[in-house]
Structure 1
Amino acid sequence: MLLKTFGWSFAITAIGLALAGVLWGWQGLAIVGILSILEISLSFDNAVINAGILRKMNAFWQKIFLTVGILIAVFGMRLVFPVIIVAVTAKMSPIEAVDLAINDKNQYEHLVTAAHPAIAAFGGIFLLMIFLDFIFEERDIRWLGWLEKPLAKLGKLDTFSIVVALVGLLIAATTVATDVAHGGGDKSATVLLSGVAGLLTYLIVGGISGYFEDKLEEEEDEDEGDEAGAAGDEGDEGAKAATNAQLNGSGGRGSSGASVVGLAGKAAFFLFLYLEVIDASFSFDGVIGAFAITNDIFEMALGLGIGAMYIRSLTVFLVRRGTLDDYVYLEHGAHYAIGALAVILLVTIKYEINEVITGLVGVVLIAASYWSSVRRNRKEAAAGEDAEAKTEVTSGV
């Protein structure tokens, strides 16, 4: 199971490190290794969030996530994205931006860093919306009940999460954006525009994905009703056979079958896009933080790409092992980590925060939620044993 899921990651790590050693020597090999670890530490919570979405998809789209998705993550976000940012902000062609990245690395680094307020505002608001929609949703299982219960009541107000996100954006634009880091001056307008773009991206991609997902569920409910009616016409025996087929996942497209097969078609496609945007938002701090280690775009892409591959593999591993079902608070911890990362991104518009701190915040929150899940499982197991013992005593066994 472990080798099957992480096999490609291990292979790419070996090839990538060997390539780094050949091209850039021991120093380049060390830089690529450090960047890989940086990416994994910063994006561990990303894997948990992705797993919660990926488990809704069928096997085909899970493979797309690992293949096409990783190409987008490595070449799109870690290599092409910074070049596009430089091209747009410096008003030059992409070819000129690539030439700058290769031949004038210091200037390239300066231009990417100068674009950080816009990047941070976009990613920060997008991630903040993910956190807010989670924390304001009514759910049966709560990790921090004293906090989540009252917030779920507030979430009953329509568009409340959007209001909170916009208020947060206004606060950022009128405080940290008025005097950004590295002497960038007042970037309030840029931060506002980028933040609104992040909000719109979340609403559009998430809304379309949710629409097709709901539509698919409606179609499945209709098909289930038609099958039940047909089974009733054929008699009790036919009804029993149809019911057994659905329970075993071998026939029909009922709700149980949907959970086994997973989403496909347009619903899965837009969920895939949603996953890629989430990954992009998580990668912003890694791409910017990587400049503290190297300003070589190829070392950066290789190192961060290896780390991204492990995050993808970890996501699939969590889905196949059913980890989120076994440790029910993990998803809560990951969303709290997302909320923390969103705030950190907005704060870094003006203040520099070490990537180690950013990574540790996520790790601590997820570790705490994991430990809470373990304790919950132990309590439930103990309660089950006590109930079983009482039953045996009552029956005289």
Structure 2
Amino acid sequence: MLLRTFGWSFGITAAGLALAGVLWGPKGLAIVAILSVLEISLSFDNAVINAGILRKMNAFWQKMFLTVGVLIAVFGMRLVFPIIIVAITAKLSPWEAVRVAIDDHDRYESLVTGAHPAIAAFGGMFLLMIFLDFIFEEREITWLGWLERPLSKLGKLDMLSVAVAMIVLVIAATTVATGVPVHGGHGTVDKGETVLLAGVGGLITYLVVGGVSSFFEDRLEDEEEDLDDEGPAGGGAAIPEERGGATASQVVGLAGKAAFFMFLYLEVIDASFSFDGVVGAFAVSNDIFEIALGLGIGAMYIRSLTVFLVRKGTLDDYVYLEHGAHYAIGALAVILVITVKYDVSEVITGLVGVVLIAASYWSSVVRNRRLEADSEASEDKTEVTSGV
């Protein structure tokens, strides 16, 4: 199970580190290894969130997540995306941006860092919406009940999460986005308009991609309910032929539009998580290929971990993990907005996520032990009552 899920990650790690050693020597190998660990530490909560979505998809789309999704994550978000950002913000042609990335590392670092306010605002608003929609949703199992139950009642108000996100964005645009230090220490600049526009872009992206995926997911659930209602017991049509535990209709649905848009949603989530890693990587190296290789190896492990969590049923066994991951997302969203103006160490960012997930895991373990003890006590009471 472990080797089957992480085999590709182990292989790519070995090949990637060997390539780094050949191209850049021991120093390059060490940098790539550090960047890989950085990406894993910053994105562990991403794996938990992804697993919650991926478990709704069939084996085909899980494989797509590990193949096509990895290509998008490694080459798209860690290599191509920063170059596109440089081209747009510096008003360069794509070819000139590529030349700068390859030949002028210092200028490339400066341009990417200069684009950080827009990147942080976009990613911050997208992640904040994920957290808000989770915390405002009513659910049977709560981790921090004293906080989640009152907020779930407030969540009955339509579009509350959007309103809260917009308030946060306006506050950010009028506070942390003013007097942003210019990279290199030469004065400050007002990034209020940039942050506002990028934040609205992140909000719209979430509403469109998340809304469309939810629409098709709800349609699929309705179709499944109709199939149950129309079975032989209800006097309707016969139950469709099953394939691997799912009906033929379900297989088509899971591999169709619903799964496709959920896949897109997963990729946008991964992109939002990768923003801080890409920008933070410049504290270690300003070589685009070292960054892409190191973060790419880390991204591969996050994807393997996601599939591992799905196949092991970890989220069902440890029910508070999703709560901890969403709280980590909320913290990351706030940190991203703060980094528009202030430097926040990647160590702090990574530790926040790890601590929250570790706490939710331990709470899940305690809950499971308590339920097991209650179950054993109930069985003992039943035996005594029955006279056994």
Report if the CA contact (8 A) 2:124-2:272 is conserved. yes
Aligned residue in 2 for 1:386:
377
- Matching residue's letter, 1:23: L
Task: Name the TM-score, length of structure 2 as normaliser.
Answer: 0.95
Q: Structure 2 CA distance, aligned partners of 1:228 and 1:249?
A: 21
- Matching residue's letter, 1:317: F
Q: Structure 2 CA distance, aligned partners of 1:162 and 1:233?
A: 42
Q: Structure 1 CA distance, aligned partners of 2:135 and 2:53?
A: 16
Report if the CA contact (8 A) 1:44-1:311 is conserved. yes
Report if the CA contact (8 A) 1:212-1:266 is conserved. yes
| Alignment partner of 1:17 is 2:17 | yes
- Matching residue's letter, 2:208: I
Aligned residue in 2 for 1:5:
5
Q: Structure 2 CA distance, aligned partners of 1:224 and 1:54?
A: 24
Report if the CA contact (8 A) 2:90-2:111 is conserved. yes
Aligned residue in 1 for 2:205:
201
Deviations 1:25-70 (A, max 9, x none): 0000000000000000000000000000000000000000000000
| Alignment partner of 1:155 is 2:159 | no
Aligned residue in 2 for 1:396:
387
SS at match of 1:176: coil
Structure 1 residue 251: deviation in Å? 6.7
Report if the CA contact (8 A) 1:58-1:261 is conserved. no
Q: Structure 1 CA distance, aligned partners of 2:111 and 2:57?
A: 39
Structure 1 residue 162: deviation in Å? 0.2
| Alignment partner of 1:309 is 2:287 | no
2:219 pairs with one of 215, 219, 243 = 215
Q: Which residues of 2 match residues 28-43 of structure 1 at below 5 A?
A: 28-43=28-43
Deviations 1:343-392 (A, max 9, x none): 00000000000000000000000000000000000000000000010111
2:328 pairs with one of 337, 352, 368 = 337
1:224 pairs with one of 221, 225, 228 = 228
Aligned residue in 2 for 1:347:
338
Report if the CA contact (8 A) 1:6-1:313 is conserved. yes
- Matching residue's letter, 1:368: A
Structure 1 residue 221: deviation in Å? 2.2
Report if the CA contact (8 A) 2:230-2:236 is conserved. no
Deviations 1:305-364 (A, max 9, x none): 000000000000000000000000000000000000000000000000000000000000
Q: Structure 2 CA distance, aligned partners of 1:27 and 1:147?
A: 48
SS at match of 2:17: helix
2:259 pairs with one of 254, 262, 268 = 268
Any unmatched runs of 5+ in structure 2? none
Q: Structure 2 CA distance, aligned partners of 1:264 and 1:184?
A: 50
Report if the CA contact (8 A) 1:114-1:184 is conserved. no
Structure 1 residue 227: deviation in Å? 2.6
Q: Structure 2 CA distance, aligned partners of 1:373 and 1:45?
A: 16
Q: Which residues of 2 match residues 277-288 of structure 1 at below 5 A?
A: 277-288=268-279
Aligned residue in 2 for 1:367:
358
Structure 1 residue 174: deviation in Å? 0.3
SS at match of 1:196: helix
Structure 1 residue 225: deviation in Å? 2.5
Structure 1 residue 395: deviation in Å? 1.4
Deviations 1:266-314 (A, max 9, x none): 0000000000000000000000000000000000000000000000000
Q: Structure 2 CA distance, aligned partners of 1:206 and 1:253?
A: 26
Report if the CA contact (8 A) 2:127-2:333 is conserved. yes
Q: Structure 1 CA distance, aligned partners of 2:305 and 2:236?
A: 48
Q: Structure 2 CA distance, aligned partners of 1:286 and 1:214?
A: 33
Q: Structure 1 113/379 Cα, relative in aligned 2: closer, same or farther at 3 Å?
A: same
Aligned residue in 2 for 1:70:
70
CA RMSD of aligned residues (A): 1.9
SS at match of 2:189: coil
SS at match of 1:78: helix
Structure 1 residue 233: deviation in Å? 7.3
Any unmatched runs of 5+ in structure 1? none
Q: Structure 2 CA distance, aligned partners of 1:388 and 1:357?
A: 46
Q: Structure 1 262/176 Cα, relative in aligned 2: closer, same or farther at 3 Å?
A: same
Structure 1 residue 223: deviation in Å? 2.7
Q: Structure 2 CA distance, aligned partners of 1:396 and 1:279?
A: 58
Report if the CA contact (8 A) 1:58-1:262 is conserved. no
Deviations 1:142-162 (A, max 9, x none): 000000011001100000000
Aligned residue in 2 for 1:84:
84
Structure 1 residue 179: deviation in Å? 1.3
Q: Structure 2 CA distance, aligned partners of 1:68 and 1:352?
A: 34
Report if the CA contact (8 A) 2:220-2:253 is conserved. no
Structure 1 residue 250: deviation in Å? 4.7
Structure 1 residue 217: deviation in Å? 1.7
Q: Structure 2 CA distance, aligned partners of 1:23 and 1:137?
A: 50
Structure 1 residue 224: deviation in Å? 2.7
Report if the CA contact (8 A) 1:181-1:349 is conserved. no
Task: Name the TM-score, length of structure 1 as normaliser.
Answer: 0.93
| Alignment partner of 1:54 is 2:54 | yes
Aligned residue in 2 for 1:138:
138
Q: Structure 2 CA distance, aligned partners of 1:233 and 1:365?
A: 49
